[in-house]
A and B are shown apart, each in its own frame.
Chain A
């Protein structure tokens, strides 16, 4: 574990987390956003939902985030397929976010990065 390099949290939408997805890998760093559906204080596990899909978030490492069901949160953390959850490194409340805009922006960002990468390769 010690040598595993921690990558930047790639922003994704929850819809993109399906088994054949490129993001669906063990310990991949992700930035996920969704509305908090439930939160258990005992286990520190919260469930966020977006676009009909949900994801468990292990928030045991988070300190300064207060959780309110119904608010929208964004977490950066690593995916653990076994526990089928995301172990959050950090998180924040992003109430007021326009999810439509966010989705489009993520797409655009990815497109940009891809183009950028391509051009770099050509060089």
Chain B
């Protein structure tokens, strides 16, 4: 130590040898606060011995080792060579670094943390010249210096280099080392195997009395048993390093050697001046050498070891070392991504993490646990760091990535993590990353306020991780010294935990998979595949091509909040994305801040190409990288597949699964409270528009029942039962059969006493059920309830309450808490039919259903029918076996109250057309699914000539059999679909302008749906969707016919989006249907044909509603006529809307070379389709009619007239563009058109509707209406043809 210090004087100018190089001070670097690299000085002429040693090892010149994140920025290089002169020092109290044991670098003025490559013990305290370096600003101590290349300032020192001789007293001593001290006469020489982190341990030092709480660390040395240590020991190769020896570095000053010793792991070292100590670990005695005041470290000679630039794995048994590049550092350094599916866990808080573990640095991890975990979602190699693990950085990252700073103190979460086995730790950390932003919103006062995201993770993980994945920790000394036996070694390797994933990564995974599948299909669309596909039915409607994957196969759990989007879809949201959800049993308490766990579900992929349906899906394993870093890859999306989840009953659990707060909260809501009952009739839509504007109120027609529910749970009841006990067996009802007196039942059918006892089951968010006694009572004292007193009112939902509006089910019954000033109550006596009652945001709603129990028959002579009160009135049910209630609250009423309720339900039924009560059905819920009765009567109205539809509105429920283009007759120009619904074993056809983008989640064949307000056309079993129509999906069947869920009456409620423009022709459906249905031989013909010419084309702007603009192009083609040739004949094919878009190839990329349209084309990916450019023109001219007026089909453009409705003249370029449009259509591919013939009546109708003169007689061609258009893959068509021929 004295030697380098003596040299310090007079050498300060030595560094001036570095010509051109500017000497930077640390202050300058810190002051600038920029991340810079001074690695360019590597190439300066002043390359010293140390730089020549490994001159090619500049990290910046390292060949690209892996595809690091492209967002990574290289450290800014200085434009001139620059060196830094200063001294390296061991850590001390003067520099407080959160990572605790870092090297310090000081240039006299300022001190910062540093890390150093090619470290030599001699460098400590010596003045060095840093030739090549990276500087990274850090908040904590100004910055961090990464020393890549350095040399001693005093070259005279070089002589002793590599001699191996050199001894460094661990404690600076005034006296030369006293090796003659009897107690400290031992020395250890061997290979440094491992080093423990610094910990504060009470060290029983015999000499000093105040020996408690000294920091210290242990090293494990495989030593040679030779007794005498020679000065040349480090070079000696004849030694046999076989004896396992532990050395304890004890004391504040000695502990500061930790970073230096850490650098020596794996090398030969010798330590002298040690004393022996016997320690007791787990009852075993263990001999440990302890450092003393006179201990001396003899460092090894630096060997020229080969540095490898790739991943090197050296494994011995369970532990080994791993050399690799860091790909990402997550969760404050707890989780480090190494290579593909290799993850380093640095979870123990006590571990020393170096600042220089940055993305793209090469690190060597020694003595790390290798844990291979396999699970349903993939395979991962976990590198689990324990107390023996040491990490050294071999190359610094050339990128400007942030330094690792230990900022988190030990908390209950980190203690929890530490108590887990490695796979469970890894899983918990992945969960933690999913929770990342959930707590951002202050909400749900009782729970979330106290729950940090760590707590949230902990709570969730505790409920998920099985007990065997917890492992007891033995403390640092036990685990270090008794490593093999302490259990650190025996991890359970099977990880049955399901992966928790952010939604965006989840969806992205399947998008990537589908794209892969698609490219695979495209690649080998060879013989055999086609052969087996062609036999399958040929469907054009892509959106009906659905594939379902079960959660068991997927093995992924999703966490998120349930929200209803502005379009009326129920979605699961998380911090990354959202996905549509279909659930049978949604709680009305849609607290937007509750986090739900979705573990059992079916992933529905709608809109798959036909060819994909027959392919086995690829089972790509999930990438954990996408979990912690959910930035979706930009993939070329050639598919428009909609993803949605179909949840099973009870599969949507609140994350605080077993948290007592939750049900207690729910309980408090009900305890001793009074509720109003009301039922919801049809939505009253403002102006008949289904798309709800955000700024206006919406109205609902409701019926307020003349009954109130009083929950009779008392404080004592709530406290009494033991809720922690989870009784999974079916709950035995806490009441016994009461004596029955049947006599009075009949008389009581219409009026019952003013109170009815019932049993109330409350379903909590945590899937628990509370059972309680309650009373339904009539507030009007001593008067019998007359159900006919039910009042029809209008409920007004102000915009803030629109969430509630969305949640209401037609025909559903709801409870609303009684408040002193609520309008239900205040105006109770005064409520009359058609009153308006506004709904306030703070009001909470619960859905309620009724059931009747024969065992619960009340004694007619008593007014109040108590359920047996000696039993605990509140029983918690968990995992209620079927039938599971689907509403929030279910009321079990005495059987004889059914009479009353049947009156009530009948009453309700009259008001609410769609529902009919089952006759032999005990379980009458408000929305029964057991019986399906068509309420619509055949229209008695004689067909009228009015343009507006006439007919009765009907509502019914049925199974969707197929969604197809109109097959039997051309109902209307804009009716693009016909929904075939099986109602009561009869097929009902519903026509409508349901388009792809307005498709309901989960709708399609196999869905059981309820259709409300469907307009009867006057013809049997034919209905039309209008803008007031409403579709509710009740359940979905899997494609193989197996029903995913038992039909449950509540489901996600979505509004079909019907645009007014489409709606208008739809209104014509009635008369149109009447007038055309006479055409009975209206056979649909399918043919493959080519477009020869465009006869008529009408383009016009669509709605002015801005909400429409974003999702779709803003113009429409109400009518288009194409002259087509199917190879045998030529005919005139009329079509509209999306089909015309397809034939005109408007959605295809704009071929720039085809036409000089520089003024149209701008470099923008969204503007590359033809439709974009066309939209510009149509916007200007509002309506464009292009018409071929000549009689010749073949002569292009000769007789084409273009008429516009705007005042502006059609520009030359616009004219060219429109003509090019026709040319483009003509040069299109083969189309398969399903068409039906048209008669003159229909053409006349079209003429009237579109105000154009069609004049089809000129061409003398047959007119057909194109119902469906799809592109023909000639190969597929050929194979299917062949197949047909071979089969015939």
Shortest A91–chain B CB gap in Å is 21
Interface window among A41-49, A80-88, A101-109: A101-109
Chain B residues whose C-beta falls within 8 Å of the C-beta of A98 in the assembled complex: 526-527, 530, 1275, 1278-1279
Closest to B528 in A: A100
Q: Are B1278 and A101 in touch, CB under 8 angstroms?
A: yes
Contact partner, A108, options B528, B1275, B1279, B1285, Cβ 8 Å: B1285
Please provide the chain A residues from 54 to 110 with a CB less than 8 Å away from any CB of chain B in the complex: 98, 100-101, 104-105, 108
Please provide the chain B residues from 896 to 927 with a CB less than 8 Å away from any CB of chain A in the complex: none
Q: Are B1286 and A100 in touch, CB under 8 angstroms?
A: no
Pairs of residues from A and B, 5 with the lowest C-beta to C-beta distance, nearest first: A100-B527, A101-B1278, A104-B1282, A98-B1275, A108-B1285
Given the complex of chains A and B, what is the CA–CA distance between A36 and B612 in angstroms?
Answer: 33
Closest to A111 in B: B1285
Interface residues of B (CB under 8 A from A): 526-528, 530, 1275, 1278-1279, 1282, 1285-1286
Using A98-B1279, A100-B528, A108-B1286 as known contacts, list a sample of 13 further A-B pairs with CB atoms less than 8 Å apart, ordered by residue number in A.
Answer: A98-B526, A98-B527, A98-B530, A98-B1275, A100-B527, A101-B527, A101-B530, A101-B1278, A101-B1279, A104-B1282, A105-B1278, A108-B1282, A108-B1285
Chain A residues whose C-beta falls within 8 Å of the C-beta of B528 in the assembled complex: 100
Closest to B1275 in A: A98
Q: Are A105 and B1282 in touch, CB under 8 angstroms?
A: yes
Given the complex of chains A and B, what is the CA–CA distance between A111 and B283 in angstroms?
Answer: 92
Given the complex of chains A and B, what is the CA–CA distance between A100 and B1283 in angstroms?
Answer: 13
Shortest B530–chain A CB gap in Å is 8
Shortest A108–chain B CB gap in Å is 6
Interface residues of A (CB under 8 A from B): 98, 100-101, 104-105, 108
Given the complex of chains A and B, what is the CA–CA distance between A104 and B1279 in angstroms?
Answer: 10
Chain B residues whose C-beta falls within 8 Å of the C-beta of A105 in the assembled complex: 1278, 1282
Given the complex of chains A and B, what is the CA–CA distance between A104 and B1281 in angstroms?
Answer: 11
Closest to B531 in A: A100
Given the complex of chains A and B, what is the CA–CA distance between A105 and B1279 in angstroms?
Answer: 9
Given the complex of chains A and B, what is the CA–CA distance between A108 and B526 in angstroms?
Answer: 19
Shortest B1–chain A CB gap in Å is 77
Shortest A123–chain B CB gap in Å is 23
Given the complex of chains A and B, what is the CA–CA distance between A98 and B1282 in angstroms?
Answer: 13
Closest to A112 in B: B1285
Chain B residues whose C-beta falls within 8 Å of the C-beta of A108 in the assembled complex: 1282, 1285-1286
Q: Are A101 and B1286 in touch, CB under 8 angstroms?
A: no
Shortest B868–chain A CB gap in Å is 78
Chain B residues whose C-beta falls within 8 Å of the C-beta of A104 in the assembled complex: 1282, 1286
Q: Are A101 and B1275 in touch, CB under 8 angstroms?
A: yes
Chain B residues whose C-beta falls within 8 Å of the C-beta of A100 in the assembled complex: 526-528
Closest to B1281 in A: A105
Shortest B803–chain A CB gap in Å is 55
Given the complex of chains A and B, what is the CA–CA distance between A47 and B52 in angstroms?
Answer: 63
Shortest B1286–chain A CB gap in Å is 7
Can you list 7 A-B contacts (CB < 8 A)?
A: A98-B527, A98-B1279, A100-B526, A100-B527, A101-B527, A101-B1282, A108-B1286
Given the complex of chains A and B, what is the CA–CA distance between A104 and B1285 in angstroms?
Answer: 11
Chain A residues whose C-beta falls within 8 Å of the C-beta of B1275 in the assembled complex: 98, 101
Chain A residues whose C-beta falls within 8 Å of the C-beta of B1279 in the assembled complex: 98, 101
Chain A residues whose C-beta falls within 8 Å of the C-beta of B526 in the assembled complex: 98, 100
Given the complex of chains A and B, what is the CA–CA distance between A26 and B1095 in angstroms?
Answer: 54
Given the complex of chains A and B, what is the CA–CA distance between A101 and B1282 in angstroms?
Answer: 8
Closest to A102 in B: B1278
Closest to A98 in B: B1275
Given the complex of chains A and B, what is the CA–CA distance between A105 and B1274 in angstroms?
Answer: 14
Given the complex of chains A and B, what is the CA–CA distance between A104 and B1282 in angstroms?
Answer: 8
Shortest B683–chain A CB gap in Å is 54
Given the complex of chains A and B, what is the CA–CA distance between A90 and B310 in angstroms?
Answer: 59
Given the complex of chains A and B, what is the CA–CA distance between A105 and B531 in angstroms?
Answer: 13
Shortest A13–chain B CB gap in Å is 14
Chain B residues whose C-beta falls within 8 Å of the C-beta of A101 in the assembled complex: 527, 530, 1275, 1278-1279, 1282
Closest to B1285 in A: A108
Given the complex of chains A and B, what is the CA–CA distance between A101 and B1276 in angstroms?
Answer: 10
Closest to A97 in B: B1275
Chain A residues whose C-beta falls within 8 Å of the C-beta of B1286 in the assembled complex: 104, 108
Shortest A100–chain B CB gap in Å is 3
Shortest B484–chain A CB gap in Å is 62
Closest to B527 in A: A100
Shortest A95–chain B CB gap in Å is 13
Shortest B1138–chain A CB gap in Å is 29
Given the complex of chains A and B, what is the CA–CA distance between A105 and B1278 in angstroms?
Answer: 9
Given the complex of chains A and B, what is the CA–CA distance between A9 and B1282 in angstroms?
Answer: 22
